[in-house]
Every structure is written in structure tokens, then in C-alpha cells.
Amino acid sequence: MSGKPSFYVTTPIYYVNDNPHIGHAYTTLACDVMARFKRLDGFDVMFLTGTDEHGQKVEKAAEAAGVDPLSFCDKVSENFRILAKEWNFSNDDFIRTTEPRHVDSVQALWRKLVDSGDIYLDHYEGWYAVRDEAFYAEDELTDGPDGQKVAPSGAPVEWVKEPSYFFRLSAWQDRLLELYKSRPDFILPESRRNEVTSFVAGGLRDLSVSRTSFSWGIPVPDDPDHIMYVWIDALTNYITAAGYPDENGEAFNTWWPAIHIMGKDILRFHAVYWPAFLMAAGIEVPKRIYAHGWWTSEGQKISKSLGNVIVPSEIVARYGLDQVRYTLMREVNFGNDGDFSHRGAVQRCNHDLANDYGNLAQRSLSMIAKNCEGRVPEHGDFTDADLALLDKSYGLLEVCRGHIDVQAFHLMLQAIWDVIGDANRYVDEQAPWALKKTDPERMATALYVLAETIRHLALLTQPVMPETSGKLLDQLSIGADARDFAALSRDHALVPGSELPQPQGVFPRYVEEEGAA
Ligand code: MSP
């Protein structure tokens, strides 16, 4: 082992009955930013994503496409790998629930839960929505347009009666409440924690965890008429990838427990069922369950029928990858719902990136290229103004760490942009172009302070904008071995006299196409 502390972050595994859209890209992006930050901050990181391939919906979708379920999954799962490549996601593993390692893991967990007395056989009848893969209580249903009963999600329900295995969820109510109470940051944001706590406090019913009505799933050990209900199968992916069932193995000890990030719609499964399964099996519960909000598009709910689905590859082609990554992480306070609009994206690209960050780098580096022979300037004594900016840069890592540790990506970016704002004001106040004739030494010092500030900014924007930050670091001649956060200190400050390449702008302005809105 490397001796470094370890960090394990996961995305939900995505259903293969849909093509990747902005919701998928968003959840994975947030995890990617976490993973990149922690790697740069000296952690050994495992970042997991993947696809959720079992269940009746997939069985039906494959049938409709005229192919067997596995070939269907092979094809759609690939689209999520392509998304990861296109968006520069740095996942270390990609799990598919149809893989043998996962089947072994879920069956081992199942056996454990049978042995502990937490799974028992009975039968189930109730209102079931195929689309949601969930049962609903009578009082949750409403009448749909054609007189059929529908779930709160709008999905039609049918009455189903079948033998089923149950997980004794009711027995875990007190221990779940105790967990939420003793670990206030187990579920974030806080509003979600309160929601989950009142749901659990309202009482829990045992959970149906197997089906006999379809066959595309993992067989229940010793009772092959039953296949496992999707959520026990799906959630277990998080421990499979950490080496389960080898609970005493090095991998499991290194990685588990994880931080799970997901959308608010699937919080209950992660914050209630999953810790209950784990506690019942004697496995440590996750470190954190973070539920983020949902995106709308130009103020409207995103839906296929409205034809306003935001396709990840299309927005990247339009605005640029790092521009989109920045916009998604900055535009909305992580945890809240938010709206993706063309105007908002253009504002982020042109104002925050091209004007604030891009211009700061471009004008500082151009002045150095022109007036300091293309070398890191020699500096004289620092003034109070110089020290104020440098000290703020040197203190930025600690501020960012505090925000990233509670998934406050927007606050991390705000803190970085605060320094960008200070640096731009510093350029205006110091006016190095005017010092050229009157006080060239002072000019060199001011340009040095700016270059050193930009070095800090470029290092710290790497998790969100890996490619463009890398280009800025190239322009400061920062070698690959000086790009992690250990270099964020005075000890690694730019060395005067080092040669710098010709600077180039890295954040082009978004120019509206002729006739576009
Ligand atoms: N397969 C389950 C997860 C099992 S995890 C053990 C699933 N898959 S999903 O493909 O439907 O959803 C994946 C993620 O996309 C969820 O986190 C969901 O919240 C997110 N989003 C889907 N639409 C979204 C938006 N419009 N906005 C933001 N995220 C949304 O659920």
C-alpha cells in the first residue's frame, strides 16, 4: 500500500433503458471533481461509476428492441463509457451489475442477511409500478387520465400478488434514527437529512426484495424461482467494486466505506435501505450520503415528450468541455435544484471565464512575455498589497478543502473567484504597464506576484477544469511533478528567471451564431 489516506466516491449506477442526459453527466461530474481534488490533495482515490442492468424495465426494453437483455445492456452501457470519455471523467472502475464479480457479491450478501434472520419468505400483494420498479400504498395513488390508478410519479400501477422474500426493514427503524442522530453529516444537505429522519420516524414496513414475475435479474441463492428485486442488487455494486465478499481483504479494508453522491429522487434507497442492509450484514455504513437537486432546462421540467432533453455531447460541442463543467458546478448551489439556460451558460463562459479568469492570465502573462524577456520576473521586496494577495492565494487550499469536504462545489469556486477578483483589482491598482518606464523593478515585482497567484489559481481549478488549467500551468512552465496540491505553498513558489513559453488565451469568448437566440 502507498501509505496515503484513501478516499472512495461513487455515482449511482445508471439504468440502461435511457441514453445519457445532463442528469447523469451532472452526478458523475460532481464525483469526478471530488475524486480529482482528493487525488491532487494526496489521497489514494477510487472513483466508481457504472450501469444498473437488471429488472423488468430492461427486460421489456430489450424485448421491444428485439434483442436478448445482455446484448441490449452491452450496447447501452457502452454509451455511459463514451460519456465518461467525452466529459473527461477520471473514474477508476466501471461496474456493470451483469458482471460475475457482482453476482457473487450480491449472493454472498443475501446469504448473510438470511443467516442473520433479516430476510424471510412470505408473499406480497400490492400496487406495483413497473416504470418505477416500486410498490405503492393505496393512499399514495391517484386516478390517471384514463381512469387507471397511477403512482405519485405518474407511472401506471397494477395489482400484483406473488410469493416474495422480505427484508426485515421494520426492525431497523431505531438503529437508523440513532445513526442519523449520532452522525449529523451522514446525510447532506441538512434539509434532506430532516426529510429522511421524518420518513423513518413515521415507521418502516418490511421490504419486498425478490420477484417471481420476471427473470432478468440475479437468482436468489437456493431458490431459483426468485430473482432479486433491483435495489438490493443495485446498491450492492458499491461494495462489489471494493472487493466484497472478501471483507477481510486488502481492497475492502482500503476503500470501504464510501461517499455516495446521487440525485434527490433516489435518496431514500441510499439513506434508509442501504444502511439497513449493511448494518444487518455487519458491514460498516457509508461515510456520507449526499443528495443533489435536479436540473430544469430554460425553466421547464426536462422530459422526452417536451423534447427538451439536454444531450451531454451537444452542450460540450456548443460551449466547450471545461466551460460546461464549470457552469454546472457554479451555476447552482450543490444540493439545490437549478435551471440550465443558454443565457446562463454564455454568461459563465464570457464573464467568469473569458473576462475574469482568462483575461487575468492573458494580460499578466503577455506583459511578462513582452517586458521580462519571457521569464519569471525577478522580484524586489513585497509591499503590503503584494503580501495581501499572496497570502490570500496561499490560504486558498485550506478554504477549498473545507468546502469540498461537504460537497459545496459552488462555494469552492466562489472562493477561487474571490481571489481572481482581488487579482484583477490588483492589476488595475498596480498598473504594471505604467511602471515600465517609471519603476521597472516594481513592475517586475507586481508581475511576479500575479504569476504566482495565477499558479495557485490554475492548480486549484484543475479538479473542475482539468484541461484548461493544465494549459495555464504549461504557460507557467510547471512540470507534471509540481501540479499537485503539495505545491500550493511558498516553498514551491515560481523561481525567478525560469523561461516561460509564449502565452495563449485558454478561454475563448462564446460568440452568438448569426440568427441564434
Ligand atoms: N439505477 C438507479 C440508481 C441505482 S444506484 C444504486 C437510477 N438510475 S438513473 O439512471 O435513473 O438515475 C441516475 C441519476 O441521474 C440519479 O442520481 C438522478 O437523480 C439523476 N438525474 C436524472 N435526471 C436528472 C435531472 N434532470 N437533474 C439532475 N439529476 C437528475 O436511478
Question: Is 45 in contact with 6 (CB distance < 8 Å)?
Answer: yes
Give long-range contacts, CB 8 A cutoff, 24+ apart: 131-140: 131/57, 131/155, 131/156, 133/55, 133/56, 133/57, 133/229, 133/230, 133/231, 135/160, 135/208
pLDDT of residue 459: 98
**Is 48 in a helix, a strand, or coil?**
strand
- Per-residue cell: 72: 441490449
- Per-residue cell: 433: 504597464
- Of the candidates 43, 50, 44, which has an alpha carbon nearest to the alpha carbon of residue 84? 50
21 CA distance to ligand 1 centroid (A)?
10
Q: Is 14 in the pocket of ligand 1 (CB under 6 A)?
A: yes
- Per-residue cell: 179: 445513526
| pTM of the complete model | 0.94
Query: Nearest 5 degrees, angle CA 159-CA 163-CA 164?
Result: 95
Atom of ligand 1 nearest to the CA of 262: 17
CA-closest residue to ligand 1 atom 27: 294
Chain position carrying cell 410519479: 153
15 CA distance to ligand 1 centroid (A)?
8
Question: Is 16 in contact with 67 (CB distance < 8 Å)?
Answer: no
The DSSP string of 96-165 is ETTSHHHHHHHHHHHHHHHHTT-EEEEEEEEEEETTTTEEE-GGG-EE-TTS-EE-TTS-B-EEEEEEEE
Q: C-alpha distances in angstroms, 323 versus 184, 250, 329, 347, 468?
A: 34, 39, 10, 11, 9
- Per-residue cell: 193: 437529512
- Which positions ≥6 away from 223 have C-beta within 8 Å? 121, 165
Atom of ligand 1 nearest to the CA of 296: 26
CA 177 to chain centre: 27
Atom of ligand 1 nearest to the CA of 234: 6
Question: Is 105 in contact with 240 (CB distance < 8 Å)?
Answer: yes
Atom of ligand 1 nearest to the CA of 263: 19
**Is 337 in a helix, a strand, or coil?**
coil
HEC string for 195-259: HHHHHHHCCCCCEECEECCCCCCCEECCEEEEEECHHHHHHCHHHHCCCCCCCCCHHHHHHCCCE
276 CA distance to ligand 1 centroid (A)?
21
In DSSP terms, 125 is beta-bridged to 161
Q: Is 235 in the pocket of ligand 1 (CB under 6 A)?
A: yes
Q: Is 171 in the pocket of ligand 1 (CB under 6 A)?
A: no
Question: Is 453 in contact with 393 (CB distance < 8 Å)?
Answer: yes
Q: Is 11 in the pocket of ligand 1 (CB under 6 A)?
A: no
Q: Is 23 in the pocket of ligand 1 (CB under 6 A)?
A: yes
Q: Is 326 in the pocket of ligand 1 (CB under 6 A)?
A: no
Q: Is 24 in the pocket of ligand 1 (CB under 6 A)?
A: yes
In DSSP terms, 49 is beta-bridged to 94
CA-closest residue to ligand 1 atom 24: 23
- Of the candidates 241, 238, 229, 313, which has an alpha carbon nearest to the alpha carbon of residue 20? 313
Chain position carrying cell 519569471: 376
Q: Is 309 in the pocket of ligand 1 (CB under 6 A)?
A: no
pLDDT of residue 514: 65
pLDDT in tens, the chain (517 residues): 578 999 999 999 999 988 899 999 999 999 999 999 999 999 999 999 999 999 988 999 999 999 999 999 999 999 999 999 999 999 999 999 999 999 999 999 999 999 999 999 999 888 988 888 788 888 899 998 888 899 988 899 999 888 999 999 999 999 999 999 999 999 999 999 999 999 999 999 999 999 998 899 999 999 999 999 879 999 999 999 999 999 999 999 999 999 999 999 999 999 999 999 999 999 999 999 999 999 999 999 998 888 899 999 999 999 999 999 999 999 999 999 999 999 999 999 999 999 999 999 999 999 999 999 999 999 999 999 999 999 999 999 999 999 999 999 999 999 999 999 999 999 999 999 999 999 999 999 999 999 999 999 999 999 999 999 999 999 999 999 999 999 998 999 999 999 999 999 999 999 987 655 4
24 CA distance to ligand 1 centroid (A)?
6
- Per-residue cell: 377: 520576473
Q: C-alpha distances in angstroms, 497 versus 378, 448, 483, 500?
A: 7, 11, 20, 9
- Per-residue cell: 335: 444540493
58 CA distance to ligand 1 centroid (A)?
16
CA-closest residue to ligand 1 atom 8: 14
CA-closest residue to ligand 1 atom 23: 23
189 CA distance to ligand 1 centroid (A)?
17
Q: Is 53 in the pocket of ligand 1 (CB under 6 A)?
A: no
Q: Is 488 in the pocket of ligand 1 (CB under 6 A)?
A: no
How many other CB atoms are found less than 10 A from the CB of residue 190? 11
- Per-residue cell: 84: 465518461
* Neighbouring C-alpha atoms within 13 Å toward the C-beta of 339: 8
* Neighbouring C-alpha atoms within 13 Å toward the C-beta of 112: 18
pLDDT of residue 89: 98
DSSP annotation of 487: G
